[in-house]
Each structure stands twice: as C-alpha cells, then as structure tokens.
Amino acid sequence: MNSQPTTRRHTLGLMTALASATLLPLSAFAQAGFDHQYTAWNTLLNKHVRWLPDGKQSQVNYKAFAADRAALKGVLATLSAVPRATFDGWSKPQQMAFLINAYNAFTVELILTKYPDLKSIKDLGSLFQSPWKKEFFTLLGGERHLDWVEHEQLRPVYKEPRVHAAVNCASIGCPALRDEAFTASQLEAQLEDGMRRFMADRTRNRVRSGKVEVSSIFKWFKEDFNSGYRGFKQVEDVFAAYAEQLSDRPEEQAALRARSLPVSYLDYDWSLNDVGR
C-alpha cells in the first residue's frame, strides 16, 4: 500500500540530485569559463597588427579588421557579458588585463564605425563631445565610454603609470598597440616591454640638443608618474630609469640619471595608426 508514495519520493529525490548535479557544473563554468588568455582577441591582434622594422611602433590593418568584424563583435560581446561581481572576484592582474584589452578592442570598434572615412580618432568627436566620451558599449553592467575605462578605472584604481604604454588611442603618437592580448600571467612583462619600446622610440622620446624631448603623455599625466611608482617622485625620475632607452650615448645617459637635462614636450601626432600611413 505504501509502495507508490515511496517510489514517488525516490523519483523526486533522484530528480533533485540530477538537477543539482546539472547546476553545479554550470555555476562552476560561470565562475571559471571566462578565457583569461583572450584567445579570440589575441588571434585578431596577431593577424591585423604588425610591428614596424624598428620594433618600437606598430600599425593596424583596419581594413582587414573590418573584414573580420564578426569575430571582433564576438570578442566585444564576451567582454560585455562579464558581470561586475565576477570581475570583482578576479585578481588585480586579471582585472587590469581585462580593462586594457577592453579599451583596445573597443577603440578598434570605434574606428571601424567610420573607417575608412576618417584620418584621426578625433574625427569621431564633435565640438560638444570627444570620441573618448561616447557611450557606445556596455562593460561591467553599465553603458561606458573609453574615458571611463582609462580615467575612472585603470588610472585611479591600479595606479600603474605604465598603463599609458598599454592602452592605445589609434594614433601614431600613441605608444604601440601590441600584436598580442594582455594576460594576467604576462602582465608585468608586457607592461615593462611596452614602456621600454615606447621610451626607445626616438620619434616620441629622445635626447636632442642638450634637452630631453618626450611625448606629451608625460605632461598630460605627470601626476601618474610622480605617484611614487618605483620610487618616482618627479617625471625626471622616469627618464633616469629609462636612460638607456632614451639615448645610446653614455654622457647623455649620465645626464638623464643626474636629472640635469631640461624637459620639453613634443607635439602629439593624432593621425590614424593605419597600415601604410
């Protein structure tokens, strides 16, 4: 007489166990399923970004990126899908790599919204709004613009001035866009490599006529380089640390380390960093 209720209880218990077993992997996937190697974005960068022969500057093949727009859209959708709570649970290197890759990927997308009918990212702005203030993508649960990523997240939260050699503004004057994605495991090496390449690029930073002539980045974001990072208390400390990149001449390197050279800032080239330009 009691066999039917007992069977029903056993059946319900089995269904509950199966449901739990199904949900557990899904939950684990939601936490661990994000590709921190950024394989899809890395593939696009490897295909469409090339270093110039000096290894200090790179160019972007925006035409080829446009042909791969569907793949780029897939990368952007993956970035936009990350919940804030998931991001908050990541390590700081994972967070930084995510934000840098997001900035660079969405910058490429912004260029493609008008390419090839533009000569500079500034062509995407107006008298009333800079291109970096356009809210054209979703990230970490909100509508965002590029300045939000750089000036409200990367700079104030992580206080890592080398990020200025990592985020790319699609311009010739900007530090090079790497042909690979940033990853947490390689972040330190990538940041330092980017900074060294940038400082060694004599079109942007150099010693000439008894002065150190540097990118306007060091003027615009001087406070980032004076923040105590690696003991830097003034922007001249940065030039001292990278003396061997700024000059090949021992006497100039010594002057840089002595902080004895006057500093001047070079004009910034906002021309698009397109292949062939």
The pLDDT tens digits of the residues spanning 29-85 come to 344 589 999 999 999 999 999 999 999 999 999 999 999 999 999 999 999 999 999
Q: How far apart are CA 54 and CA 62, in angstroms?
A: 21
Mapping DSSP to helix (H, G, I), strand (E, B) and coil, where does residue 267 land? coil
**Is residue 170 within 8 Å of residue 272, measured between CB atoms?**
yes
Q: For 143-189, what is each residue's pLDDT tens digit?
A: 999 999 999 999 999 999 999 999 999 999 999 999 999 999 999 99
**pLDDT of 200 higher than 90:** yes
Q: How far apart are CA 243 and CA 237, in angstroms?
A: 10
pLDDT of residue 32: 55
Q: What average pLDDT does range 86-108 have in this prediction?
A: 98
At 93, is the pLDDT very low, low, confident or very high (cuts 50, 70, 90)? very high
Residue type, 198: F
End-to-end CA distance of the chain: 87
At 90, is the pLDDT very low, low, confident or very high (cuts 50, 70, 90)? very high
**Is residue 145 within 8 Å of residue 133, measured between CB atoms?**
yes
Q: In what order do the strands lie in the sheet with 206-208?
A: 206-208, 211-214, 263-265
**Is residue 197 within 8 Å of residue 52, measured between CB atoms?**
no
pLDDT of residue 193: 98
Identify the CA nearest to 107 among candidates 41, 43, 152.
41
**pLDDT of 201 higher than 70:** yes
Q: How far apart are CA 138 and CA 144, in angstroms?
A: 6
- Kindly state the percentage of the chain with pLDDT values over 90: 83
Pull the structure tokens for residue 10: 């056993």
**pLDDT of 17 higher than 50:** no
pLDDT of residue 231: 77
